[in-house]
Amino acid sequence: MGLVIAIDGPAAAGKGTLSKRVAQTYGFAHLDTGALYRAVGVAVLRAGGDPADAEAAAQAARALRPDDGILNDPALRSDEAAQAASKVAAVPAVRAALLDFQRRFATTPPGGAPGAVLDGRDVGTVVCPNADAKLFVTASVEVRAERRLKELRERGIPAIPSDVLEDMKARDARDSQRTVAPLLPAADAFVLDTSALDADQAFAAATAFIGTKTGFGPKV
């Protein structure tokens, strides 16, 4: 089994960009665990269902396969998919159905990679509690809302700043207050606040921590 790096955090904190860069730098396989939940949410919506319907969400999760084209569907990046993902993630049966998928990826990285980077909301606390290095990437809700607003506008999606901020706060509350695997840092996670950091500074801090925990250097 290779090294496992768990990177958790709320929406728009920068964990996705950071995780991909860490994985590429170390030559590790990368899994955006949130994409699994987004895929389930989108599948439910496309079937005409309600993501908050536990039975419909669980059925969609059990039907998900690693080679499903939906995992690379651009629709997964929409705000609608994000909201649906947050709802299906609160369903215990959905989490159970996707847990094995994520753990297999971590313990047996595809392509013979020497390790895996998984980013999400409960990787360090639930999915891979024995990960070699755990990070919790965060930022103030105001900063994260500004980042999400910029992202939406760059994609040509109309957005009102106050609405984006309120949606972010509502999602944070839902993710942190759910009874099943709530969003919170693992006790042994390195909390990285990116509010005042650019991508390079966040990457430098993350790799410095990973190095102290694993002794593993970037792939040359």
Secondary structure, 3-state, the chain: CCEEEEEECCCCCCHHHHHHHHHHHHCCEEEEHHHHHHHHHHHHHHCCCCCCCHHHHHHHHHHCCCCCHHHHCHHHHCHHHHHHHHHHCCCHHHHHHHHHHHHHHHHCCHHHCCEEEEEECCHHHHHCCCCCEEEEEECCHHHHHHHHHHHHHHCCCCCCHHHHHHHHHHHHHHHHHCCCCCCCCCCCCEEEECCCCCHHHHHHHHHHHHHHHHCCCCCC
Is 115 part of any known ligand binding site? no
Is 12 part of any known ligand binding site? yes
Is 205 part of any known ligand binding site? no
Is 112 part of any known ligand binding site? no
Is 170 part of any known ligand binding site? no
Is 9 part of any known ligand binding site? yes
Is 110 part of any known ligand binding site? no
- Binding-site positions for ATP read 9-17
- Binding-site positions read 9-17
